[in-house]
Structure 1
Amino acid sequence: MNQEKQYDIVIYGGTAAGIIAAVQAKLMGKSTVVIEPSQRIGGLTSGGLGDTDVGMKQAIGGLSLEFYKRVARKYSQDGACWLFEPKVALEVLQDMVAENNIEVVYGERLELKDGVTKQGSEIVSIRMESGILYTAKVFIDASYEGDLMGKAGVSYVVGRESNAQYGETLNGIHPGDELNELPSGIDPYVIKGVPSSGLLLRVNPDPGGKPGDGDNKLQAYNFRMCLTNNPDNRLEIEKPEGYNEADYEILFRAIEQGQNTKFFKLNMVSPDKTDSNNNSGISTDYNGMNHNYAETDYRTREELFKAHRRYQQGYVWTIQNHPRVPEEIRAVYKPWGLPLDEFIENSHWTPQLYVRESRRLIGDYVVTEHVVRLEDEVPDSIGMGSFAMDSHHTQYYVNEDGHVSTEGGFYVKLKAPYPISYRAIVPKRDQCTNLIVPICVSATHAAYGSIRMEPVFMILGQSAAMAAALALDADGIVQNVKYEQLRALLDQGNQVLYTDM
């Protein structure tokens, strides 16, 4: 099938950012399509992340804020609502799609081999696995993985820069007792005290380098589970097929060393539903098992997805049922199961893996820790970030004391919001002139730890569409968009660009 479809703007990825970009494109009279590889729009926003990583509310404006206000209206509340059920978020996004008559194509994935056709530095078309060809004047990659960007011949990075590269403090390998979220004294060997028995699953013999060294490891992924304790709406979590008890040995030993809380979060998003996230050094994150995710093929990604689900489902079952987990801990978590009124098409488990970080663009401008800490001025803000610089762990390793330790985590709160440059969402001019990247932005691992929040992605999605429309009305080159013109549109669209805090 070699159908060809033509638009002003093609948006790859029906994340919340992709949908917001499409709304803005339609508001500006541009023809657009959203291509979503899965069967559900909204990404994490409709995929279980109902306890919004707000940061500072005054930094959120435009259609991003409008989304959270619409959520509030669904609950008959005033203002914005930052806690919500996945099905409500999905409903709001579907409303926005319907009102703006946005074309969404489901279940189409970019052909990873030669799926992007360029003439010089311009993308002419992208081809799906089905053979359908989409041509456009401007493309927006609103996927978490950055597949379109990755195949478009632009510079990007996967993993962690060294601290030395940009003069940062949080980047690179990050070991140390103060960052270890496991109890001390966990023996790393299959048979305790017997090195010849081999290391426990997922435990590395060392961190792989010196503190601050760069590597290609990624912070851990998991699923943001929506759970309920309402017996009338609850499906018990069963032991998954392929369950491997050895996967939970660190958990058992953490309990033996005194851990009795923080096995996973039970953050309430409604009277009887949670957004349940990772909460300690041994929790729902599948530490160390995603390092090849960003650049691998779809089949391997599907295997990684299944492995993450098997681990996490098995982890919850273990906490609730395993005899090596004390009864008083089991009793806390036992009442929680999957809500029958969520993710109905996916056996009530979210179809969205939390891809916290994948590829990151390297543009002419890179957002660093210095920008996030307000040490660098940003003259061309298109929106603001304000959440803490936050990285989950990347691995387990054997520390100098000979015990299991986590590595890679940090959480550094900010005093005030910081502006994000337009140049952070466009590639280098000589590499690609008609691509905009609002999720896999040009930022270091340290800075991305703050940017990578759903409200910010929506903000950047709206700004990306405004820039795309301006480029379309001029010479089609996104690097040539005049900031004064973009600024006028951003102000009109109620984006928050700077704060006086």
Structure 2
Amino acid sequence: MKKPLIFSLLIFLTLPIFALAQSYQADIIIYGGTSAAITAAVQAKKMGKSVLVVSPDRHLGGLSSGGLGYTDTGNKSVIGGLAREFYHRLYLHYEQDSAWKWQKREEYGNKGQGTPAIDGANRTMWIFEPHVAERVFEDFVRENGLEIHRNEWLDRKSGVKMKKGEITSIRTLSGKIYSGKVFIDATYEGDLLAAAGVSYHVGREANSVYGEKWNGVQVGVYQHRHYFQDSISPYKVAGDPSSGLLPEISPNPPGKNGQGDKLLQAYNFRMALSRNPDNRVPFPKPANYDPTRYELLARVYQAGWTETFEKYDPIPNQKTDTNNHGPFSTDYIGKNYDYPEASYARRREIIREHEDYQKGLMYFLSHDPAVPADVRAEMAQYGLAKDEFVDNGNWPHQIYVREARRLVGSYVMTELDVLGAKEVPQPVGMGSYSLDSHNTQRFVTPGGHVQNEGDIGVHPKQPYSISYGTLVPKKKECSNLLVPVCVSSSHTAFGSIRMEPVFMILGQSAAAAASLAIDGDIAVQDLDYEALRKVLLEEKQILEN
């Protein structure tokens, strides 16, 4: 009588592991926890679709809640839809007296990028604290009943199942399986699109590829103030090549101008610092702190540089969004090249290396006698904001992945589109920021001096449209995937598109397209653009000048 039970038990024990995995299903599966992921999920819900957000992140919002509070917005008039709703909700928060805990509202100063931070006429707030932004994203989740599966990491080796050119399901490292009709890759890295086998690019294209001017190597091009004076030596013993190079300098030549390479613009953390004595934590000294790695900065000071606090941009409550500025700053130049394709373990190493470098830099600035006394005195007024990133030692939970993989899709946006030399077809949103690339490498010039390369800042004459074709792969590669973050664009065009408001705009548009494709039971590439346009305009997206 016991044989059937034993037999059944043996069958159960020999089942493949994936057969025992938890399985989930929805119309739309969104992979990522960025601002684009959340706006996409909200739009999908608004259009009556079931949606699951599979997020490797515990904290939602990406850089928008990860320290980038001094928002790169460009022309605010082209920010519509849910993106504008996000900034409106921030405005409503800061209209409350209770929002101003560490500073009086009238003391804030209302400094913003191009326009006042608090725009009373349009009821928007463009500059904000990280934890406030995260709260807005969590409000979107709660109000729309969004289902978020956090800390779920895509199995990038074998976790994407496809059939006849469509993704049928994805599996995470925990074994969970997510099946859907349309998938959206809303990560900064483009992990889902890569695992699905669609075409993408990493690095800078040669100018000859798309007929561009500002792509590829750009030695001698200085469009911001992030370069060294010609007098600074790169050697351990100044002027003596035999002594070897100082840390953080590449021994490799930079290449010829206009040629392509696999290099990436630098990453950093956008730190939230506090000037309020009751809300600041002293800069920690990393266990592996080595002041010699900042010798280049000491030489910059010796040469007379005085711009240390140029990008300690004010956000409410006596805090800053502190960004890179100058020839040697928070950007960890040349240390991220393998990040896009790296394993999760290697990415964690890269992130930790950036954290150690940047924490060491802040400790150096506040303690080392090689730093001018007036700078150290000013630094003594700053510390990490005690009420930000409270579960991560007050350190941002998101590194600034300025660029990783980029889709090569149905339409490739180039600097010709951004700068107005071409008419953009089938617009689904707009951008307006400059072609903005941080430095990609630090090298030794033929004259024996240290220099940076890769800094670009070319402004469009007016806002530009972004094509629907930038969100979708080539149909023959995958017919049910949309990509609103790692969009199909050249390095220089992406330098403008890669702004958080634009990611929110494109996330919303991608979800609208996904919903319509499901309604029509068609490939995302076969969508009737006029139908999509109608929905986007109803959702108050801004599509063209």
Residue 121 in structure 1 maps to residue 165 in structure 2: yes
Residue of structure 2 in register with 1:136 after alignment: 180
Asked whether the equivalents of residues 334 and 442 of structure 2 are also in contact (C-alpha less than 8 Å), the reply is yes
Q: How far apart are the structure 2 equivalents of 1:177 and 1:9?
A: 44
Asked whether the equivalents of residues 184 and 257 of structure 1 are also in contact (C-alpha less than 8 Å), the reply is no
Offset of 1:332 from its aligned partner? 2.0
Asked whether the equivalents of residues 138 and 476 of structure 1 are also in contact (C-alpha less than 8 Å), the reply is no
User: Secondary structure of 2:62's match?
Assistant: coil
TM-score, with length taken from structure 2: 0.90
User: Secondary structure of 2:64's match?
Assistant: coil
Asked whether the equivalents of residues 264 and 284 of structure 1 are also in contact (C-alpha less than 8 Å), the reply is no
Residue of structure 2 in register with 1:100 after alignment: 144
Residue of structure 2 in register with 1:222 after alignment: 268
Aligned residues: 499
Residue 28 in structure 1 maps to residue 80 in structure 2: no
Deviations 1:429-451 (A, max 9, x none): 00000000000000000000000
Offset of 1:196 from its aligned partner? 2.0
User: Secondary structure of 1:124's match?
Assistant: strand
Kindly name which structure, 1 or 2, has the bigger radius of gyration based on alpha carbons: 2
Offset of 1:263 from its aligned partner? 5.6
Residue of structure 2 in register with 1:338 after alignment: 384
Aligned pairs for 1:318-333 within 5 A? 318-333=364-379
Residue of structure 2 in register with 1:19 after alignment: 38
Residue of structure 2 in register with 1:362 after alignment: 408
Asked whether the equivalents of residues 280 and 386 of structure 2 are also in contact (C-alpha less than 8 Å), the reply is yes
Q: How far apart are the structure 1 equivalents of 2:522 and 2:40?
A: 17
Out of 207, 210, 219, the position equivalent to 1:163 is 207
Residue of structure 2 in register with 1:48 after alignment: 67
Asked whether the equivalents of residues 70 and 127 of structure 2 are also in contact (C-alpha less than 8 Å), the reply is yes
Residue of structure 2 in register with 1:110 after alignment: 154
User: Secondary structure of 2:300's match?
Assistant: helix
Asked whether the equivalents of residues 50 and 84 of structure 1 are also in contact (C-alpha less than 8 Å), the reply is yes
Asked whether the equivalents of residues 206 and 399 of structure 1 are also in contact (C-alpha less than 8 Å), the reply is no
Residue of structure 1 in register with 2:3 after alignment: none
TM-score, with length taken from structure 1: 0.98
Offset of 1:264 from its aligned partner? 6.0
Offset of 1:138 from its aligned partner? 0.4
Q: Which amino acid in the other structure matches residue 312 of structure 2?
A: L
Percent identity reads 51
Residue of structure 2 in register with 1:152 after alignment: 196
User: Secondary structure of 1:387's match?
Assistant: coil
Q: How far apart are the structure 1 equivalents of 2:309 and 2:205?
A: 30
User: Secondary structure of 2:272's match?
Assistant: coil
Q: Which amino acid in the other structure matches residue 459 of structure 1?
A: I
Out of 402, 407, 429, the position equivalent to 1:383 is 429
Q: How far apart are the structure 2 equivalents of 1:178 and 1:266?
A: 21
Offset of 1:206 from its aligned partner? 4.5
Asked whether the equivalents of residues 386 and 418 of structure 1 are also in contact (C-alpha less than 8 Å), the reply is yes
Asked whether the equivalents of residues 183 and 258 of structure 1 are also in contact (C-alpha less than 8 Å), the reply is no
User: Secondary structure of 2:125's match?
Assistant: coil
Offset of 1:49 from its aligned partner? 0.5
Deviations 1:52-88 (A, max 9, x none): 1110011100110010001100111741100000111
Q: Which amino acid in the other structure matches residue 16 of structure 1?
A: S
Q: How far apart are the structure 2 equivalents of 1:340 and 1:163?
A: 46
Q: How far apart are the structure 1 equivalents of 2:457 and 2:254?
A: 22
Q: How far apart are the structure 2 equivalents of 1:405 and 1:459?
A: 37
Offset of 1:379 from its aligned partner? 2.6
Note the residue ranges of structure 2 that are not aligned, 5 or more in a row: 1-19, 96-117
User: Secondary structure of 2:73's match?
Assistant: coil
Q: Which amino acid in the other structure matches residue 135 of structure 1?
A: S
Residue 440 in structure 1 maps to residue 486 in structure 2: yes
